[in-house]
Amino acid sequence: MMESELVWGRHYLAVEPTAFRVEYAINPFMDVEVQPDAALAFRQWHELVRVLRECGARVDVLPQRRDAPDMVYAMNLGLGVLDADGDRRAVLSHMRYAERRMETRSAERWLREHGWATSVVGRDGVGPHLEAGDAFAWRGSLVVGYGPRTEELALKHVAAELGVRVQGLKIAHPGMYHLDLAFCPLDARRALVCPDALDATSAAALLDLVPEPIVLTEEEALTTFCANSVVVGRTVVMPACPERVRRQLEEWGFTVRVVDVGEFHKGGGSIRCLTNPVDVALGRDLDVVPGGLVELA
């Protein structure tokens, strides 16, 4: 393993798309008149899992609820961390939209059955909303976007619950409603970044946070979903890769694997949304800060 590699991202939780469809519209990509091809989506998801496993990642599969068509976007189920003793802890998401809130109940049951201790920020619309697609462990902090889905108040709850430093960034773009559509850590120094997703202050703060960014245009982020990728060691698994981005990644020593998950773009998510890393560790990927700490850009 190279010294700068991300340590997390080698164990994922995913939800098999047995009931995936567009039943409502809660983001700009969703249109109930444009339905995904269920059979093609199923094949695309299985190809993604195959590629991740081929790259050396472990993928555990959570069954999809029949009444939860968006549950396949597993990234938003919650934040999982391993503490210093190896115990598993998960802070479940509190979805902003009622259409998705039943998902976390099934995730909670599965997590507890597999040895995770769980907690919640809010429940059934009461309390601040938190969606895990807004959060990344990077450079010792939990980098969290807030605005469209996650509320600012939730950052304090997460920081205190996990005992970590939270770096908050304000999302201002309606099409990049989760941070995982605009930010993808690549290793300890590099990341894909779309500043247009954030307000001016937070965009500057994120660029200051990343020593070596690949800056994506708004068009690249929205049309290719390329920031919504995952990294396994030195392999970047992407839904698409603009040529200039590929050249830079390969110059840095990364291998790019493109996996078509276009049917899932109709629901507003891509590869990162379909996978939830469950190997983030306190004291390794996240600095332990007793009582937690929130820093807003």
The overall longest dimension of the chain from CA atoms, in Å, is 49
Going along the chain from its start, the domains and CATH numbers come out as: 11-21+29-296 (3.75.10.10)
Q: What are phi and psi of 32, to 5 degrees?
A: -65, -15
Mean of pLDDT values over 247-266: 98
- The strand pairing partners of 198, in sequence order, are 171
Q: What is the DSSP string of 225-292?
A: -TTS-EEETTEEEES---HHHHHHHHHTTPEEEE---HHHHTTT--TTTT-EE---BBTTTB-B-TT-
User: For the whole model, what pTM was predicted?
Assistant: 0.96
CB 148 within 8 A of CB 174: yes
Residues 198 and 34: their CA atoms lie apart, in Å, by: 29
For residues 226, 227, 230, 233, the Cα torsion angle rounded to the nearest 10 degrees is 100
Per-residue pLDDT band for 1 (boundaries 50, 70, 90) equals low
Instruction: Look at residue 3 and tell me whether its pLDDT is greater than 70.
Output: no
DSSP 3-state of 54:
helix
Residues 227 and 191: their CA atoms lie apart, in Å, by: 9
Per the listing, tokens 């030195």 go with: 234
Taking only the tens place, the pLDDT of each residue in 57-114 is: 999 999 999 999 999 999 999 999 999 888 999 999 999 999 999 999 999 999 999 9
Q: What is the CA radius of gyration of the chain?
A: 17
Per-residue burial over 36-67, b = 16 or more CB atoms within 10 Å of its CB, e = otherwise: beeeebbebbeebbebbeebebeeeebebbee
Taking only the tens place, the pLDDT of each residue in 104-162 is: 999 999 999 999 999 988 887 789 999 999 999 999 999 999 999 999 999 999 999 99
Question: Residue 268: is it exposed, middle or buried by C-beta count within 10 angstroms (0-12/13-18/19+)?
Answer: buried
Q: What is the DSSP string of 8-52?
A: S-SEEEEE--SS----S--STT--TTS---HHHHHHHHHHHHHHH
Taking only the tens place, the pLDDT of each residue in 35-60 is: 999 999 999 999 999 999 999 999 99
Q: Would you state the pLDDT for residue 86?
A: 84
Taking only the tens place, the pLDDT of each residue in 13-24 is: 999 999 999 999
Residues 6+ positions from 64 with CB-CB distance below 8 Å: 15, 16, 17, 18, 19, 20, 71, 72
DSSP 3-state of 125:
coil
Beta strands 58-62 and 11-15: pairing type?
A: parallel
H/E stretch holding 145 reads: strand 141-146
Instruction: Look at residue 2 and tell me whether its pLDDT is greater than 70.
Output: no
What's the 3-state SS for 150-217?
A: CCHHHHHHHHHHHCEEEEEEEECCCCCCCHHHCEEECECCEEEECHHHECHHHHHHHHHHCCEEEECC
Mean of pLDDT values over 232-260: 98
Beta strands 190-193 and 183-185: pairing type?
A: antiparallel
